[in-house]
Amino acid sequence: MKPVSSVFSYFSVLILAVFLGFFVASCEKKTSSTTQAQAVQIEQNTTEQNVTKTEETNVTHDISTHSVIQTDSVELKTVQTFDTNASDSDSDVIVTTTETITISQENAEDTAQPVESATDSAVPNAAVAALQKRGVVRIGVFGDKPPFGYIDKNGANVGYDIAFAKRIAQEIFGDSSKVEFVLVEAANRVEFLRSDKVDIILANFTKTPERAEQVDFTLPYMKVALGVAILQDMELASPEQLQGKTLIVNKGTTADAFFTKNYPSINMLKYDQNTEAFAALLDGRGDALAHDNTLLFAWVKENPQFKVAIKELGNQDVIAAAVQKGNTELKQFIDDLIVRLAKEQFFHKAYDETLKAHFTDDVQADDIVIEGGKLE
């Protein structure tokens, strides 16, 4: 039989061993739980960061999209779900991010990018866009019809028509120098358009029904009628008094057409160029010269031995730009420009700068100029 003390010692050791076993197991379980919790936290943080990045990406995209269409407000919601895989939980953890962004109408308009245009207006039409792509607009003008279109002593194109041509180039390109001046004669203006040698005619082109069948005229920018110039010591009150005399005209002009139709028996001497026609009158090769009265008013001021005996003959006509038949987009562009230029009285200013000095004091701007394409 064992002593009592030995038995007590045995049980003490056994109890101590059991206690130590429970203590070690508890520590291992706690460590495992902590490790799993940390893993879950790390995964959750990573996922939340991904959600945030996804949300930021979506926000950036949607702001860009909705600012263009000017939406009043945009609500963005991003939902991300992931499984914790925790040993003590079968449920998923759901992370939901919701953000509402309100964009006012004013801010939306500020965000939208403006349309780039040389005219600061709407997107240019196809005809204007084609000119912009080419880089220059070809405009047919006179080189020998002062003060409307002529070459000055420095070799530059100047005159009333030239001022308008440069403004058209300014509106198309933002640069008034991007115009190619193509010198034309009265008789070939229509042909130059039809053969695509020019884009626009600005050569003191009187609008007539016959010409309108071959080209498209824009709104007018000047008034005109026929006149007849003779020497100061001659008398002429009507066209009938030209019977038995020689009348000088330019081929293809309204004067040529008017006298050919209405006074076919009058002897006419026809020239291609204005300089040739006026030189013939100065040399005495003809008795009278019929042309646009506006041109004659300027010419007789420089040649005071002559006078405009008949100041207005036939209909009151108008001068307009012309484009190729069917080029409605370029025509519309010029029409719109003429209307807009009325706000700044462009043609009155052009008159003061290019025409006024060439006329006598009895000729006023309103006798010649048309603003906004409308006859008063």
329 confidence band (pLDDT: 50, 70, 90): very high
Q: Which two tokens stand for residue 22?
A: 């429970």
Residues 6+ apart with CB under 8 A from 323: 193, 199, 200, 201, 215, 216, 218, 330, 331, 334
- How many C-beta neighbours within 10 Å does residue 114 have? 7
pLDDT tens for residues 251-304? 999 999 999 999 999 999 999 999 999 999 999 999 999 999 999 999 999 999
Band of pLDDT at residue 22, cut at 50, 70 and 90: low
Residue 356 has pLDDT above 60, yes or no: yes
Structure tokens at 369: 């100029």
Q: How far is CA 301 from the centre of its chain?
A: 40
Give the whole-angstrom CA distance, residue 354 versus residue 367. 15
**More reliable by pLDDT, 213 or 26:** 213
Q: What Å distances lie between residue 72 and 84, 100, 107, 193, CA to CA? A: 39, 11, 10, 51
Cα-Cα end-to-end distance for the chain: 145
Q: Return d(Cα 46, Cα 32) in angstroms, integer.
A: 21
Q: Is the pLDDT of residue 123 over 70?
A: no
- 148-196 tens-digit pLDDT: 999 999 999 999 999 999 999 999 999 999 999 999 999 999 999 999 9
Give 375's pLDDT tier (boundaries 50, 70, 90). Answer: confident
Query: Residues 289-299: pLDDT tens digits?
Result: 999 999 999 99
Roughly what angle, to the nearest 10 degrees, separates helices 328-341 and 126-134? 90
pLDDT at 338 over 80: yes
Rounded CA gap, 170 and 186, in Å?
A: 26
Q: Please state, in angstroms and as integers, the Cα–Cα distance from residue 27 to each residue in 18, 31, 32, 87, 366, following that order.
A: 15, 6, 9, 17, 108
pLDDT higher than 80, residue 65 = no
In 247-364, alpha helices (H): 254-262, 274-283, 293-302, 328-341, 346-354
CA distances from 69 to 64, 115, 122, 337 (A): 9, 15, 18, 30
According to DSSP, residue 163 is labeled H
Q: Is the pLDDT at 246 greater than 80, yes or no? A: yes
**307 vs 315 pLDDT, higher one:** 307
Q: Looking at 25-39, 40-54, 183-197, which range is the least confident one?
A: 40-54
